[in-house]
Amino acid sequence: MYKSPQSHAYPRAAISGRVVSTIIFAAILGLAAGQANAQGMTSQRMLMTTPAQAQMEVSPFYANRLRMASPQIVQRLNALQAQSKQRGWTFSVGYTTAMDYSLEQITGAREPANYASRGPSQNSFATEAMSVENNYAIINHLPPIVLMCNASSGAFDWRNLGKVTPVKDQGGCGSCWDFAAMAAYESAYAIRNGSMIDTSEQQVLDCAGAGTCGGGWYMPVWDWMLTHRVGNESALPYTAHDGSCPAISGNYQDVAWGFVDPSGGVPSVGAIKAALCAHGPLAVAVMATPAFQAYTGGVLNEGPMSNFNHAVTIVGWDDSKHAWLVKNSWSTGWGLNGYIWIAYGSNNIGYHAAWVQAPSNRIIINPHLYDLIAKYRLIPNPGPIHEISPIQQKTQMQNMQMQQH
């Protein structure tokens, strides 16, 4: 898991809109105090004696970063604070580690042209694949998956059931699509098998053909995983750079994936809740803005938007907040230890929401799954690979038979 130099501390609280203004004022005073050092007064002493410092009821992590912020960062936060007052935002902003990068560096959701119309056929495949997988599990005497989730509940959080892996850090690479895909898969694996895994996002980045540090899309990752296996993070650690596909073995495939709403766009709140309960955390797209980049707490409520540029994972909801609980991949130095609450309908959250299913680790994948893949012509472009998958073996055999006749 890639770690940026700024991601060692863990923020514990959000900064309120009122207090951020005082913090920024304190930071400015701190800069002035630096100029007073020649007169025997240190910046630390000046900060400790200002009324603004005494009013700081904030995360020590964000408060400390703000003390060291450049005038440019302070100016950006002041501008966001002004917008917050004008627009009635219900969230706070601060000097997150994400602000050490440009927004373009850390967003990279790029939807392939053919995926917008693929929903109906993909969900037909998913329905058949899930039926094949469930019947195979019954034949092999596997216990059914019990999902402790009710879509009619006022609130739900998959973390409370231990089915969400730790927040990771994509660094200055636009691989959000990769991390969203694997976050959903890791949770699906935990739900199906009762154990946590840490998959190699670097292998996905280098081998899946789903994107690069310049952007990509999460669904082609799951296409690739139908016929290829992903290894552990320890086998190929994340570097936040594009690389060549290595010859490593893996253990993790998927058996199906589907759209929450096959017609596309943003599904209804009820549909997203139902999918969260039926399948686990969902990979989705969202519009990340400068305010999103500086988010430190509260409910992000910038309002409706029609565009998207970032991929994240929804892990829960809270109707009292009217918001989704979202896992990001910008380290724990952003947001609420790497999470954000986003209001229903804000920032295009939930665009092309999709789920993925992991198989049981106690049995081999049902061979009939490959028949379904061939039936629906879901033979993904594997990119540079160093192994022949079962579907490729079958395709090669069929081609040879056709040539013989």
Domain borders along the chain are 17-95, 113-357
Q: At what angle are helices 119-139 and 368-375 packed, to 10 degrees? A: 170
Q: What is the Cα–Cα distance from 107 to 174, expressed in whole angstroms?
A: 5
Give the pLDDT confidence of 80-117 residue by residue, as tens digits. Answer: 999 999 999 999 999 999 999 999 999 999 999 888 78
Alpha helices in 140-216 (DSSP H): 176-193, 201-207
Q: Strand pairing partners for 283? A: 313, 354
What is the percent of the chain where pLDDT is above 70? 79
> Which one of the listed residues 173, 207, 279, 310 is annotated catalytic?
310
The 8 Å CB, 24+ separation contacts for 228-232 are 228/253, 228/382, 228/385, 228/387, 228/389, 229/253, 230/182, 230/199, 230/200, 230/203, 230/204, 231/199, 231/200, 231/203, 232/197, 232/198, 232/199, 232/200
Residue 292 neighbours by CB under 8 Å, 6+ apart: 286, 300, 302, 310, 340, 347
Give the pLDDT confidence of 263-282 residue by residue, as tens digits. Answer: 989 999 999 999 999 999 99
Spatial CA neighbour of 133 closest among 254, 215, 40, 237: 254
> Which one of the listed residues 173, 176, 207, 213 is annotated catalytic?
176
Determine contact, residues 344/323, Cβ cutoff 8 Å: yes
Q: What is the Cα–Cα distance from 188 to 243, expressed in whole angstroms?
A: 27
328 flagged as catalytic: yes
307 flagged as catalytic: no
User: CA 211: distance to chain centroid?
Assistant: 15
**Is pTM, for the whole model, over 0.75?**
yes
Determine contact, residues 58/15, Cβ cutoff 8 Å: yes
Q: Give the pLDDT band of residue 21 (cuts 50, 70, 90).
A: very low
- The helix or strand, by DSSP H or E, that contains position 295, with its residue range, turns out to be strand 295-300
Tell which CATH classification among 3.30.365.10, 3.30.465.10, 1.10.10.10, 3.90.70.10 matches the domain 113-357.
Answer: 3.90.70.10
Q: Give the pLDDT band of residue 6 (cuts 50, 70, 90).
A: very low
Q: Give the pLDDT band of residue 20 (cuts 50, 70, 90).
A: very low
Q: How far is CA 227 from CA 233, 369, 374, in A?
A: 19, 10, 11
Q: Give the pLDDT band of residue 2 (cuts 50, 70, 90).
A: low
207 flagged as catalytic: no
Determine contact, residues 14/336, Cβ cutoff 8 Å: yes
**Residue 35 pLDDT > 60:** no
> Which one of the listed residues 123, 309, 328, 347 is annotated catalytic?
328
